[in-house]
Structure 1
Amino acid sequence: MIETTTRDTPAAAVTAMVDHVLDLAATWTAWDGTPAHVDDRVYTPHKAVRRVADHMIDHLAELEARLAGETPRPDHWHASAITTEADLAPFTAQDLDEARSRLTRLARIWANRLDALTDEQLDRSPGEGWSFRELARHLAGSTYYADAVGDLS
């Protein structure tokens, strides 16, 4: 888990989370196919990448809806409650390349959006829910999914 301080920007919290996830993912091509059982859930490399990406998309949709003055649409994902057949597939070098592209691009979208907001917008965000600064800090906790799989080197 990465630590954040009040001096970190919200954008840095999100990009550091993705860097941490991808550092761990770089070791997952060695995965032996045995899922990790953490808390009451099952995690695999593919599931960790899926959950990080879904979490980023879900909260980005929330942020954008609130900025537009709309009520965010609820997500209908099963999240960590399910492990799909695709989650159980071997994690290859090509999968790592795809994860790097997907998560790095999502992190840039988040960083660009957060950096464009004023401190007031970050702290007094429209609509109901966490401030956008708090939302970024929450998103940084997505390291949980990657940490569940761990370093497999």
Structure 2
Amino acid sequence: MTESTQIFAPARPATAVTGMVDHVLALAGTWTHWNGEPVHVDGRVYTPHKAIRRVADHLIDHLAEMEARLAGEETQPDRWHASLVTTEADLAPFTPEDLDEARSRLTRLARIWANRLDSLTDEQLDHSPGTGWSFRELARHVQESVYYADAVGDMS
């Protein structure tokens, strides 16, 4: 677990996800000052748009996994290697409108996660159907998406 995820390691899995999104959006609030230079971390390139995209993708990918497992279906593998790829769109300026869109999108995704996780019993959270992490562990894994925002950092 990274230092950032240790900051909010809550008892409720839903709070792991909503706390992560709050952390990401707090940093994103400083990104409208981005100078256009990508940040190089751990051999990869990060920008404000890429960080938001990666957080949203991670939330969607694992939400789809959780829902498939709850429905007794096979999960669909993610075939997109998005952390390795930096698109032209990722290099665009990060405007106040982009921040507003990110706040709307990530806040709604976090609420979907919170609603789903809060509807599960402790038994379901800890002994989840299908193959993979328990849903409690999955929430903690998704929480590690702070990495993408932390890679870009505070641009105040």
- Name the TM-score, length of structure 1 as normaliser: 0.97
Question: 2:72 — aligned with what?
Answer: 69
Gap regions ≥5 residues in structure 1: none
Residue 152 of structure 2 aligns with an amino acid whose one-letter code is V
Cα distance in 1 for partners of 2:19, 2:11 equals: 10
Residue 33 of structure 2 aligns with an amino acid whose one-letter code is A
Q: Give yes or no for the alignment of 1:41 onto 2:37.
A: no
Question: 2:125 — aligned with what?
Answer: 122
Cα distance in 2 for partners of 1:115, 1:35 equals: 37
CA RMSD of aligned residues (A): 0.8
Question: 1:140 — aligned with what?
Answer: 143
Which of structure 1's runs of 4+ aligned residues deviate more than 6 A? none
Cα distance in 2 for partners of 1:71, 1:2 equals: 29
Q: Choose the corresponding residue for 1:94, options 97, 104, 114.
A: 97
Residue 96 of structure 2 aligns with an amino acid whose one-letter code is A
Instruction: State the Cα distance separating 1:59 from its structure 2 match.
Output: 0.1
Question: 1:80 — aligned with what?
Answer: 83
Provide the aligned length of Structure 1 versus Structure 2.
152
Q: Deviations over 1:37-78 (max 9, x none)?
A: 000100000000000000000000000000000110111112
Instruction: State the Cα distance separating 1:8 from its structure 2 match.
Output: 2.2
Residue 108 of structure 1 aligns with an amino acid whose one-letter code is R
Cα distance in 2 for partners of 1:8, 1:14 equals: 12
Cα distance in 2 for partners of 1:110, 1:58 equals: 12
Residues 114-123 or 73-82, more deviating: 73-82
Question: 2:25 — aligned with what?
Answer: 22
Instruction: State the Cα distance separating 1:108 from its structure 2 match.
Output: 0.1
- Name the TM-score, length of structure 2 as normaliser: 0.96
Q: Choose the corresponding residue for 2:55, options 52, 61, 65.
A: 52
Cα distance in 2 for partners of 1:8, 1:131 equals: 14
- The sequence identity of aligned pairs, in percent, is 76
Question: 1:2 — aligned with what?
Answer: 5
Cα distance in 2 for partners of 1:82, 1:100 equals: 23
Residues 104-113 or 75-84, more deviating: 75-84
Cα distance in 2 for partners of 1:109, 1:36 equals: 30
Residue 22 of structure 1 aligns with an amino acid whose one-letter code is L
Residue 109 of structure 1 aligns with an amino acid whose one-letter code is I
Secondary structure at 1:75 match in 2: coil
Instruction: State the Cα distance separating 1:2 from its structure 2 match.
Output: 3.4
